Amino acid sequence: MFNRNLYLIHGNLVCWFASWTLKTKKEVNTMNKHVIFALIILLCTAGMGMAEEIVDDYPELKDVSDFGGDLTIMHLLGYRATNISMEQLSFEKGDPNVLAMTRAGYATAVGGHSTEQCIDAVIATSGCTMGNKNLIIIHSCSEKPFWFVFCNQNTMEATYLRVNKNVLADYLDRESTTTDKYALYREFMEDDTVFEMVSKYNINAEELMANPDLWNDMLYTIGPADAMSIIYGADALARWSPPGLITGLQFHDHICPATLSGYFFSEIVLKELPLRSSADKYISISTPPWCKDDTMIQLLGISPAMRMVSEDIPEEMKEKFPSPPFGGGGGSGIGGAVIRWNSTTKHGDGIFLTFDKLKAIKLSDSGYLTSPTPEQRGLDVLKIICWMTENPQEAAKLHQVYKRFEVNEKELNELYTTGNNPLELLNILPKESGVAEGSGTHESGPVSKLNASALSIPDAKFPDVDVMPVASACDLQLSSDPNLQYFPVPPPEPDPTGDIGGDYPMLKSLSNFSVRGSPDNISIMHMIGFKACKVGMGLLRLKKNDPNLMVFTNAGYVASIDGESTEQCIDAIMDESGCTIGKDNLLMLRTGMHSRVWFAFLNRDSMDCVFLWVNDDVAKDYLDRERTEDHYTLMREFVQVRGDVLFTAYKLNVDAERLINEPSRWDMIEHHLGKTNAWSMVWGANVVVKHPIPEFIAIMQEHTHICAGSLAGYYMVDRIRSELPTIGGRECAVYKGGDMLVSLLPDCRNDAIMALLDTTPGRKGYFATKLSNEQIAKLPPEARSASTIYITWDEFSQHGKGIVLGFDTEKARELSGADYKNEPFWLCRLKCLTWMADHPDKCKSLVKVIKRFEVNDSATVRKLESVDVNPMVELGIAGESFATTGTGDGAAATTPFIPAAACMAIVLLAALLSRRR
Ligand SMILES: [Zn+2]
Ligand SMILES: [Zn+2]
């Protein structure tokens, strides 16, 4: 009785309080602290949390808290952005024609708070999800503008909401100290200054091309980079939206003709050089790198840190390439090579690719080559994008294999080596005297340095099945208790009602979440994710929303079963497990399209893990039949498929301590999960469980595991941020001013830096070669640990700063107590990386700044990223001059503007920005 009275009083007080807050919210904080304090005591006594109350004022927030957990400022931010957009674009929750894009995520922090909770709020409020292919999470970093975009693809109207980071940071500060979250949240919900810009545009491509003023207006109000993200992205996806292209957009920030090229190149690689076993890996020789690389990295599962050679070439070298097939001056059509390298046989098969950009310009009837102004050129790029996405089959034909070749280990090493020009080694570079006339002449071209010979591509099976574990559930204990799990024990078969949701009410939640209440649209792919949850959670005996549950998977826009992407599994996982992006307990690791799909369910308390490989043959059969057979009958059948038929399941404990004490268990784990997944689930999972730091999740998603190397990268980012406060907003490299990473060694740390600072190769933010042992020997001893050059550059003032970084790996190994001489590979690394994650201060002191330098002309900057150059010599760190040919002279490197240069979009950006000045 007493409690009930209190509750009533509290109810009245809150109502009075709420309405009063509306009028004088500022005064609440200053003048009425005592009143508020009394109120808190009262509410706590009544057993009511105050933060709950914001839901009373904004009932739609209930969806957000049901989905994303206890509400925070970040949830409210995502909700507000979505809500404003829903009003302005008049759409309802779950509208499949609405595209949501955001730069929120693990690596985007404001005031030290990461922003992934905004994504949960966007999902819960808009109904845009990965499974519906209309949730696009743009790879970004803390230094970049932070925005939300919604586009109604029926009307092609879009909203753009840019967050005022200072205002947001202030709220976040107060959130961590306030005793009255309710008042803070109310204030936040009504504060117009949270977004520094809220605008609405019509971004219909035809409309913009007919009315360039609309385009110009957008360029100059929100800036060309963001305008490109929105217009190029939404107009392309409105025409053609294969999941692989979405992933290109997510990583590259926009869709340009070259992002599309990366998609078509990847298709060629997957067809010509399918991976045959887990010993096969793709290596990209990106000389020169351009936007296509950002798509290819994603689709081919390439780690830039380990499997990429990326160097620019001088403009005059680009000019020499014949068109066709390279497609018009500026080297824009040099697709680079992809090698399928087998680490067992030490042999690689490679293809060299071309893109006929001139033909794309011609076929799209774009005025790109003669555009009178940069603004107009931007529209002419849009025209090419529209043509390519309206005619993907025609556009695909413009991408070709120019040459096939083989490499052995020595040759591969040469391709990697700093100062070598892969185009020369691969016999692609046209001769000085006579420019090659076209694809007909290349086979008998200049002096061959490699054994370039035509390959006969074996008719290999796709994907890599031979190394995967056979379907034997060795240490898996299947429960036969039907109350714990529906699968492997299938639910009792009900009488048919004609409605799958009626037959199996357990599917209702999934259909509400992902396909807006129509169980007829639940797909086999949804069901694969759903069944994975049933098996995984059943075996772990964890229920939905259990705080100990974490899910790891490679499912998503890329990894595929029978050529079909697996993002619908993600919707099912979110709904069935309650694990989400915003709760930091759903980790989507980036592997290539060829990778076999898996799910791992982890109890973070016991570190018990249920690992499920999808049995491709079973899944393929149902995916095939889904195309032709009656949905209802097929779904009824599929619900009854036992979990142990659909999956090969293992239950194992991955606790680091336990493994260190019982190292003999490792072989079993590696045997069942495969080497790289064992690294994910042992190295990675132990770190993110013990240290739930969003940046670790960002690294793990990008790099698929956490290792000593990627942790070194994490600590190096700290040093980069303190030494080199950004000049250009960490945008795309030298063209605009921004950041650039030059990797001197294939080392995991550079993937971590890229994951956190968004220096992607496609945006000219990432260059990589490998110093040879001889080149390292010529360095002074203190510089021999150098792995990374990092530069921030401002193109306008022609000024930049850089540092050469290394990490004292030896010291870390020593301090960790790991015995690298005698312990197995995985064990010493496990010891070292767990020590590194546990000792941030110590590790930060192991980051070494080998050199600090300033640059005052773009020629120097571009030299450091260029082929034929050893950057350590250029920076005066190595003893003797090593630079050989070509780019040594500034004249070549300062070529200001070439209409057909590699990234149309970046060039446009550069031109517009210079104009603005
Ligand atoms: Zn681009
Ligand atoms: Zn690694």
Domain residue ranges of the chain, discontinuous segments joined by +: 1-49, 254-444, 500-669, 707-886
- Decide if 358 contacts 328 (C-beta within 8 A): yes
CA distance 305 to 8: 61
Rounded distance between C-alpha atoms, residue 6 and residue 13, angstroms:
10
Residue 486 confidence (pLDDT) above 50 = no
Most distant pair of Cα atoms in the chain: their distance = 98
Cross-strand pairs, 202? 157
Q: How far is the CA of 259 from the centre of ligand 1 (A)?
A: 6
Ligand lying closest to the C-alpha of residue 291: 1
Å from CA of 706 to ligand 2 middle = 6
Among 3-12, 329-338, 388-397, 677-686, whose mean pLDDT is lowest? Answer: 3-12
pLDDT class for 278, splitting at 50, 70, 90?
confident
Position 477 scores a pLDDT of 42
Cα of 902 to ligand 1 centre, how many Å? 9
Q: Which ligand is nearest to the CA of 705?
A: 2
Question: Percent of the chain scored above 90 by pLDDT?
Answer: 70
Å from CA of 632 to ligand 2 middle: 45
Q: Which ligand is nearest to the CA of 332?
A: 1
The confidence score (pLDDT) of residue 369 equals 87
CA of 256, nearest ligand number:
1
> Closest Cα partner for 733 from 838, 858, 639, 593?
858
- Nearest ligand for residue 257 CA: 1
Distance 293 CA to ligand 1 centre (A): 10
Burial class from Cβ neighbours inside 10 Å (0-12, 13-18, 19+) for residue 6 reads middle
Phi-psi region of 86 (alpha: psi -120 to 50; beta: other; left: phi over 0): alpha
State the pairing for strand pair 560-561/564-565.
Answer: antiparallel
294 Cα–ligand 1 center, Å: 9
State percent of the chain over pLDDT 70.
Answer: 82
DSSP state, residue 559: B
Q: Which helix (H) or strand (E) holds 20?
A: helix 2-31
| Angstrom distance (rounded) from CA 678 to CA 681 | 5
Whole-number Å distance between alpha carbons of 421 and 446: 14
What SS3 state is found at 737?
A: strand
The overall average pLDDT reported for the chain is 85
Cα of 787 vs centre of ligand 2, distance in Å, is 14
User: Residue 137 C-alpha to ligand 2 middle, in angstroms?
Assistant: 24
Classify residue 462 by burial, with Cβ atoms within 10 Å: 0-12, 13-18, 19+. Answer: middle
Structure tokens at 98: 């609405």
According to the model, what pLDDT value does residue 899 have? 36
Report the distance separating Cα 622 and Cα 856, nearest Å: 61
Q: Which CATH architecture has domain 707-886?
A: 2-Layer Sandwich (3.30)
Each residue's pLDDT tens digit, 113-165 = 999 999 999 999 999 999 999 999 999 999 889 999 999 999 999 999 999 99
Q: Is the pLDDT of residue 749 over 80?
A: yes
* pLDDT exceeds cutoff 80 at 536: yes
d(CA 275, CA 376): 43
Cis peptide before 392 (omega within 30 of 0): no
Per-residue pLDDT of 812-863, as tens digits, reads 999 999 999 999 999 999 999 999 999 999 999 999 999 999 999 888 888 9
Side-chain-side CA neighbours of residue 766 (13 Å): 32
Reported for 626-634, long-range contacts at CB under 8 A and 24+ positions apart, including other chains, are 626/523, 626/524, 631/500, 631/520, 632/496, 632/498, 632/499, 632/500, 632/520, 634/524
Residue 102 confidence (pLDDT): 98
Six-digit token string for 26: 């500022």
Burial class (CB in 10 A: 0-12, 13-18, 19+), 118: buried
- Distance from Cα 49 to the centre of ligand 2, integer Å: 43
pLDDT tens sequence across 603-632:
999 999 999 999 999 999 999 999 999 999
User: Taken in order 635, 650, 486, 553, is the CA torsion positive or negative?
Assistant: negative
Q: What backbone torsions phi and psi does residue 611 show, to the nearest 5 degrees?
A: -110, 125
Q: Which of 813, 780, 770, 37 is nearest to 413 (CA)?
A: 770
Residues in the chain: 917
pLDDT bucket at 436, cuts 50 / 70 / 90 = very low
CA atoms within 13 A of residue 145's CA, in its CB half-sphere: 18
Judged against a pLDDT cut of 90, whether residue 485 lies above it is answered with no
CA 81 to ligand 1 center in whole angstroms: 26
State mean pLDDT over 19-33.
Answer: 35
Amino acid sitting at position 875: L
Report pLDDT for 314: 86
Alpha-carbon Rg of the chain, whole angstroms?
28
* Ligand of minimum distance to the alpha carbon of 902: 1
Picking from 199, 201, 174, the residue whose alpha carbon sits closest to that of residue 185 is 174
Q: Which residues contact 797 (CB under 8 A, 6 or more apart)?
A: none
- Residue 360 · residue 387 · CB < 8 Å: yes
State the distance from the centre of ligand 2 to the C-alpha of 705, rounded, in angstroms: 6
Q: Is the dihedral of CA 884, 889, 894, 898 positive or negative?
A: negative
Buried b (16+ CB within 10 A) or exposed e, 17-54: bbeebeeeeeebeeebeeebeebeebbeebebebbbbb
Query: At 346, phi and psi to the nearest 5?
Result: 55, 50
CB–CB of 593/531 below 8 Å?
Answer: no
In this predicted structure, which of 142-151, 453-462, 560-569, 589-598 has the lowest mean pLDDT? 453-462
pLDDT level of residue 727 (50, 70, 90 thresholds): low
Asked if the domains 254-444 and 500-669 are classified in one and the same CATH topology, the answer is yes
Ligand 1: centre distance to CA 785 (Å): 33
Given a contact cutoff of 8 angstroms between Cβ atoms, the answer to whether 766 and 310 are in contact is yes
Statement: residue 28 has pLDDT above 60: no
Q: What are the structure tokens assigned to 907, written together?
A: 């060039």
Give me the architecture of the 254-444 domain, per CATH.
2-Layer Sandwich (3.30)
Distance 519 CA to ligand 2 centre (A): 42
Q: 898 C-alpha vs ligand 1 centroid, how far in Å? A: 15
The yes-or-no verdict on residue 447 having pLDDT over 70 is: no
Give residue 317's pLDDT.
85
pLDDT of residue 318: 83
Segments of 485-614 assigned E as strands: 549-553, 560-561, 564-565, 586-588, 598-603, 608-614
Instruction: Calculate how far, in angstroms, residue 846's C-alpha sits from the geometric centre of ligand 2.
Output: 18
CA of 707 to the centre of ligand 2 (A): 5
User: End-to-end alpha-carbon separation of the chain, Å?
Assistant: 71
829 CA to centre of ligand 2 in angstroms: 10
Q: Which amino acid is at 703?
A: H
Could you tell me which CATH number the domain at 500-669 has?
Answer: 3.30.1330.130
Q: Which range is most confident: 349-363, 507-521, 566-580?
A: 566-580
Ligand nearest to the CA of 750: 2
pLDDT digits (tens, 9 = 90+) for 765-815: 899 999 999 999 999 999 999 999 999 888 778 888 999 999 999 999 999
Which ligand number lies closest to the CA of residue 251? 1
Half-sphere exposure (CA, 13 Å, Cβ side) for 909?
A: 26
Q: How far is the CA of 273 from the centre of ligand 2 (A)?
A: 25
Cα(192) to ligand 2 centroid in Å equals: 44
The whole-number pLDDT of residue 778 equals: 93
Question: What's the pLDDT score for residue 888?
Answer: 31
H helices present in 106-195, as ranges = 116-126, 165-177, 181-190
124 and 61 Cβ atoms separated by less than 8 Å: no
| Distance (Å) of CA 192 to CA 14, 20, 30, 198, 350 | 23, 19, 21, 10, 56
**pLDDT at position 489, please?**
65
Check if the beta carbon of residue 315 is closer than 8 Å to that of residue 302: no
pLDDT at position 407 is: 95
